Structure 1
Amino acid sequence: MSSPCDPEYAPVGDIDAALLVIDSQLKAVYNGRSGPDPEQEQMVNQLTASLGPGGVEALVDGACTLIYMFMSWLRAACEEQDEDVIAHVVPSLVASMRMMPMSFRPEVIPTMTGLVVAAGTGLSPNLWRAQYGEWTGAEMTPLEATAVLLADHINRLAGDDHDFATRLITDALSRADQD
């Protein structure tokens, strides 16, 4: 039986824009800066300034799609090791969130954890979240940071390859374009 949160019913959103934002944040983290590279920040600012109301929604949907894709990759990697993806990812993710009170206020941690669990069990994170109403402004930074934390987790699993998660997505998008 199909779930109303099945990914086939979910909007994909603007994955390219979401990946640009996430990649910019990853580069800032890896370069030891508290913010993105000024050139990257300018690109992200231009991108977000060009978005209309539908563009912001597409960016949010794109971030949720990234979370889904990251968790799908992590689920496959965990299954190869006979591990449960939820047990592997969620405890360290929640611990990281709790250490970042400026990005993750305590009240958004359950929602972001729920997004990750939904994606880890094969459900669409954005459709799962939609059950509880509209996105709030207070959830935007945690949503971005959740995608960054998952990408960083993947990069560390790939031997500290700082671009692995980004390549994972761009390769998947390239294959989808070819099909």
Structure 2
Amino acid sequence: MTKILLVDDDPHCLNALQRTLRLMLQREQPHIDAFTNPMEALKHICTCDVDLVISDYRMPQLNGAELLEALKQVAPDTVRIMLSASAEFDTMLHTINQAQAFRFMLKPWNPVELEENVRLALALRASLVAAKAATPSAQELEAARLEAEEPGMLHVRRNADGAILL
């Protein structure tokens, strides 16, 4: 199931974005969590795995770039999109460079552009997850090395009582 996190201090904007995403992604039936408080959103992502975060830029307590930058540290494989009414160059530059946002979109959003960017973001997330699953862990690499060095070393035979057979 696709999990999306929305963060915007304007509840009306959050509701509109939620409705739009639910209509766009009807077949996928995404699980969407929405927060008006960026600190609460940050706490949430520390305990839940999220595929995509869409955040507003101008918010009290923590701006969107700071939030996405913190999310990058906590959940580096979560794809991040910034949605803002501000088209200031410095804002965009900071968001893209520091927070490594996948996209920077302007409010009011264009539904076609939003859908395209969300679908691209979710495809990127799927490829990141697949690549991570295909990469062997340090423990798997060590087990392969030991098995190559001493074939059969990791395969233990036991009798009915559980005792090791030599």
Do the two structures share a fold, i.e. TM-score over 0.5? Answer: no
Bigger RCO of structures 1 and 2 (CA < 8 A, at least 6 apart):
1
Taking structure 1 as the reference length, what is the TM-score of the superposition?
A: 0.27
For the pair shown, which has the larger CA radius of gyration, 1 or 2?
A: 2
Structure with greater proportional helix content:
1
